[in-house]
């Protein structure tokens, strides 16, 4: 049964939000489960599961055929494009769906490689990024004879080296690929400033917003980027990747396609039969987030109110978690302090304990969090934890102060 949110001009309380998530009723070894694994994938509200189920049970069909369920599928996918367009502040025909961000980004890289670059052009990536971003462009550079420039991470702060970034941009820069926020450290990059500098050199800008989009609805117009990718399962939806790409750029791509497939946006970059139910669920996740801000205003306006309030709550939880962990002997924290530009995600290590051991011990107390390098492999290497990895905790819309205290108690017992 779907929980109905009370209409209000303010954002729903954490108690109201928690009532929407059946997963929060789970218990493990006698403990209620506290999910701090949101940076790897959030839990799903009942409304999203209902939308997926309704599509599969009552509207399931393939697209573009002349019978009712096919028409209904076309309409459902269009509604999802409209929802994701509002989430990213783009247009529906600029929204591309795929299996995941990694697959979409590699496919996009291949399409850009067929005509947008020539040998000797330069591509800029960073050490702070998830490798789904940086490795796409490393592969393209290798295949097309491009020069790769890698902006250094400053391990002591978890930020990019600003001077190194400035030096990386040259008149030969053809593309800059940057993360909006680090999935390992929570660092938020000033993408708009980077995009402005890149545009001075005539370069394209690709943004990995997978982690950022879980904490704020991105604004592609304000960022000034040309392409932005995210994943619905990081903001309470199913496992579906989403790509926004500027309409004229999309139209100009020489995308690898089957011969009879559509060769115009938004379907030009979409290959094969997509996960229709997942796309429907992604749209439902956007509507769920908008519903938290009540009925007043456009969907984009309600999403912005929800994002601002959830970011504020997350910052308060992060501050409590940061200072609590910092006070524990033998615990080392990484990244910027709570007052900096960052998301409610942090990584830490406990001296003498591999990250898997820490996560496993906390799981026995019903505290679920991630361990390893989270595909931010270079970050783990630069921090000196390539072998044992990091422990990562992230606060989501349903995280409470009491759950933060449970995490802290568990780490104290270990340390």
The sheet with strand 241-245 has its strands ordered as: 95-98, 241-245, 227-231, 204-208, 173-179, 122-126, 147-151
Count of C-beta atoms within a 10 Å radius of residue 151:
23
Instruction: Give how far Cα 124 sits from Cα of 115, 146, 217, 287, Å.
Output: 18, 10, 25, 35
pLDDT band with cut points at 50, 70 and 90 for residue 260: confident
pLDDT at residue 111 in the model: 96
Cα angle 335, 337, 342 (rounded to 5 degrees) comes to 70
Domain positions in the chain are 14-44+299-414, 51-289
CATH topology (fold) of 51-289: 3.40.640
pLDDT at residue 261 in the model: 74
Residue 46 phi, psi (nearest 5)? -60, -35
- Cα–Cα dist 93/85, whole Å: 8
Beta strands in 246-389 (DSSP E): 331-334, 345-350, 367-368, 370-372
CATH topology (fold) of 14-44+299-414: 3.90.1150
Coil, strand or helix at 63: coil
- Cα–Cα dist 170/93, whole Å: 32
Q: Among 236, 229, 219, 241, which residue's Cα sits nearest to residue 289? A: 236
Could you read off the pLDDT of 228-254 as tens digits, one per residue? Answer: 999 999 999 999 999 999 999 999 999
- Cα–Cα dist 95/61, whole Å: 21
pLDDT at residue 372 in the model: 98
- Cα–Cα dist 107/184, whole Å: 24
> Structure pTM?
0.95
**pLDDT at residue 352 above 60?**
yes
pLDDT band with cut points at 50, 70 and 90 for residue 157: very high
Which region among 32-41, 248-257, 356-365, 371-380 has the lowest average model confidence (pLDDT)?
Answer: 248-257
Higher pLDDT, 187 or 1: 187
For residues 346, 347, 350, 354, the Cα torsion angle rounded to the nearest 10 degrees is 150
Percent over 90 (pLDDT), the chain? 95
């Amino acid at each position: 049964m779907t929980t109905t949110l009370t209409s209000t001009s303010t954002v729903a309380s954490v108690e109201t939000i928690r009532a929407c998530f059946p997963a929060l009723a789970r218990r493990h070894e006698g403990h209620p489960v506290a999910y701090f694994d949101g940076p790897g994938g959030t839990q799903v509200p009942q409304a999203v599961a209902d939308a997926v189920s309704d599509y599969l049970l009552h509207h399931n069909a393939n697209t573009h055929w002349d019978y009712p369920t096919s028409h209904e599928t076309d309409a459902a996918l269009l509604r999802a494009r409209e929802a994701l367009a509002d989430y990213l502040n783009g247009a529906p025909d600029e929204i591309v769906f795929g299996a995941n961000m990694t697959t979409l980004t590699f496919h996009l890289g291949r399409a850009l490689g067929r005509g947008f670059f020539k040998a000797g052009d330069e591509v800029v990536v960073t050490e702070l990024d998830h490798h789904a971003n940086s490795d796409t462009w490393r592969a393209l550079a290798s295949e097309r004879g491009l020069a790769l420039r890698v902006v250094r991470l400053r391990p002591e702060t978890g930020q990019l080296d600003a001077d190194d970034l400035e030096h990386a941009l040259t008149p030969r820069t053809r593309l800059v690929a940057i993360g909006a926020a680090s999935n390992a450290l929570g660092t938020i990059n000033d993408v708009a400033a980077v995009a402005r500098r890149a545009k001075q050199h005539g370069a394209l800008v690709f943004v990995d917003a997978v982690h950022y989009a879980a904490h704020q609805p991105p604004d592609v117009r304000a960022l000034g980027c040309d392409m932005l990718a995210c994943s619905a399962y990081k903001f309470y939806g199913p496992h579906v990747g989403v790509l926004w790409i500027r309409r004229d750029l999309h139209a100009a791509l020489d995308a690898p396609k089957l011969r009879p497939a559509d060769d115009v946006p938004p379907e030009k970059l979409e290959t094969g039969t997509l996960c229709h139910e997942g796309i429907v669920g992604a749209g439902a996740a956007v509507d769920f987030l908008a519903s938290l801000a009540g009925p007043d205003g456009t969907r984009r306006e309600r999403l912005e109110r929800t994002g601002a309030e959830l970011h504020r709550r997350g910052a308060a939880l992060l501050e409590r978690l940061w200072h609590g962990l910092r006070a524990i002997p033998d615990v080392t924290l990484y990244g910027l302090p709570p007052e900096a530009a960052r998301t409610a995600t942090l990584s830490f290590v406990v001296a003498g304990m591999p990250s898997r051991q820490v996560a496993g011990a906390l799981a026995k107390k019903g505290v679920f969090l991630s361990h390893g390098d989270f595909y931010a492999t270079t970050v783990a290497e630069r921090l000196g934890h390539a072998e044992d990895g990091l422990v990562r905790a992230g606060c989501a819309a349903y995280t409470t102060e009491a759950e933060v205290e449970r995490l802290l108690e568990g780490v104290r017992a270990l340390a």
